[in-house]
Structure 1
Amino acid sequence: MEHKLSLERIVMPIASLLLVFAIWQAAVIVFAFPPYILPRPLDILYNMVTRFHIFWNAALVTFWQVIAGFVAGSIAGVALALVMSLAPRLERTAMPVVVLINCVPPMAFIPLALIWFGLGPNSKIAMAALAVVFPVLYNCLAGLKRVDEGSVNLLRSFGANPLTVLWKLRLPAALPLLVTGLRIGMTRSTIAVIVTEMVGAYSGLGQIIYRSTALLEYLDVWSAVFAASIGSLVLYALLTALDSRLVWWK
């Protein structure tokens, strides 16, 4: 039964993607869309294959920055959530500042990131970390707080200190919401890196999209978008696998 369910989780998404591509291909042929408006998926895939090394190298640049920023932002978000859960006064003091910063779209900080960290990878990693830290912080903190107080009092009655309660009770209870925050953060991290690359970078998928748009090379634009989508799906699948491992009781 479990094998059947895991097979369905793999087959159904692939079948859905193939159906979308088939409808797309048929619509372009039937309605005769100009290639610069909507190219055929087969043409995009052919362009990706024939120029594989270009998109592969660009994807490597983009996604190592995505992963680095995601890891940095996740660590910062979890650390802040843990500290705030142990120090409620600090949470009441710091949370208005956190909310104020989060009210500003992360993309608004791109010019500052480029000025402070330059056109290299540091600015992309910083923007990815900024995009990740808030959803991870909010979800982790909410998970840490949703523990039943009766369970907390029971552990304390056996002599557990706040750190023991945090490790034995609050963290396991927070895992489902934490993984949800990580999934959201991964998506935001990818968007932040690609948009930052479009504004200023030496390489990466975002830079290919920017240059190809300026040169009207529509197949390269779509190929870079496809490469970014494939990379995001792979990272999302890894987080889903992590979810099933960590939150096995679901």
Structure 2
Amino acid sequence: MSTDPMQPSRHVVGRGILGGVMLFALWEGLARGLDLPSYVLPAVSEILARIWTSRVDLLQAAGYTMGEALLGYALGACVGIGLALAITLVPALRRVIVPAAMAVNSVPVVAFSPLILLWFGMGMTSKIVMVAVAVSFTMFVSSLAGFDRVDQKSVDLLRSFGASRAGILWRLRLPTALPMILSGMRLSTVRSLIVAIVTEMLGAYGGLGWVIYQAVVVIDFVQVWAAIFIASVISLSFFGLVSLVERRVVFWR
């Protein structure tokens, strides 16, 4: 019997790869067998061929989008965790921060795009801000839920030994909240890339969203699918990397 802790993950990855291969084979068969036009559903082989011929432009666009997503992700994670920490250390802030966060999140993030583009311009800054807004709420909710999971009896015990709020946070609340924080970081990976691409489609100087927008304008749907494939690979890789970090850090789960 194997004792390798990574064995279940390898099985999951293997099943995922097998499922992807079967899906692409079915896709290729339907597109070729039904002789579907490219604007309806291009064959996988046609999309892969376009990725290869346009690899320079697509990789450049992917790097642009990844930069926006990663910087916005890091900024949003810091803001969300920071707000949760502030509430934990100063409980009176909960009545101010939580309603404000809920009010902002009640509006779709895309609705803020025109204002963000107006304030920060068409460059990378506006996309970074949009991603940060989207990620910060997810991180805030997950972090706050993690900090609130602490047993009050344990808090009272540490206080009886003279522990300060900062000491309780470091020794008790943070270790308890770590699984929830990392889960929020994992869930935010996909959201960060989606928001970056959608915002690029509304106005940008580069990126996968801009490539998709330009391809739609000239009715080049194979190029659209090529950009979508690249975005999917980036998203899955980012998700898998954060999941790996989560398994390494929160090894007891």
Structure 2 length as normaliser, TM-score?
Answer: 0.96
Q: Corresponding residue for 2:51?
A: 48
- Per-residue deviation at 1:94? 2.1
Q: Corresponding residue for 1:33?
A: 36
Q: Corresponding residue for 1:13?
A: 16
Q: Corresponding residue for 2:192?
A: 189
What is the identity, as a one-letter code, of the residue corresponding to 1:27? L
User: What is the aligned counterpart of 1:152 among 152, 155, 159?
Assistant: 155
- Per-residue deviation at 1:23? 1.0
Q: Corresponding residue for 1:232?
A: 235
- Per-residue deviation at 1:4? 3.3
Distance in 2 of aligned mates of 1:193 and 1:42: 27
Q: Corresponding residue for 1:170?
A: 173
Alignment deviations for residues 59-106 of structure 1 (CA, whole Å, 9 cap, x no partner): 000001100000000000000000011111111122111111110111
What is the identity, as a one-letter code, of the residue corresponding to 1:199? L
Identity of aligned residues (%): 40
Distance in 1 of aligned mates of 2:187 and 2:137: 10
What is the identity, as a one-letter code, of the residue corresponding to 2:109? P
**Secondary structure of the corresponding residue to residue 39 of structure 1:** coil
Runs of at least 5 residues in structure 1 that lack an aligned partner in the other structure: none
Cα distance change of structure 1 residues 183 and 4 upon mapping to structure 2, 3 Å threshold: closer
- Per-residue deviation at 1:31? 2.4
What is the identity, as a one-letter code, of the residue corresponding to 2:81? V
Distance in 2 of aligned mates of 1:74 and 1:214: 35
Runs of at least 5 residues in structure 2 that lack an aligned partner in the other structure: none
Cα distance change of structure 1 residues 165 and 61 upon mapping to structure 2, 3 Å threshold: same
What is the identity, as a one-letter code, of the residue corresponding to 2:141? Y
Alignment deviations for residues 166-202 of structure 1 (CA, whole Å, 9 cap, x no partner): 0111111111111121122222211111011001001
What is the identity, as a one-letter code, of the residue corresponding to 1:145? D
- Per-residue deviation at 1:30? 2.5
The CA RMSD measured in Å over matched residues stands at: 1.1
Distance in 2 of aligned mates of 1:177 and 1:130: 19
User: What is the aligned counterpart of 2:144 among 127, 141, 144?
Assistant: 141
Distance in 2 of aligned mates of 1:134 and 1:125: 15
- Per-residue deviation at 1:5? 2.5
Q: Tell me whether 1:70 sits opposite 2:68 in the alignment.
A: no
What is the identity, as a one-letter code, of the residue corresponding to 1:198? M
Is the deviation greater in 27-36 or in 53-62?
27-36
User: What is the aligned counterpart of 1:131 among 109, 134, 138?
Assistant: 134
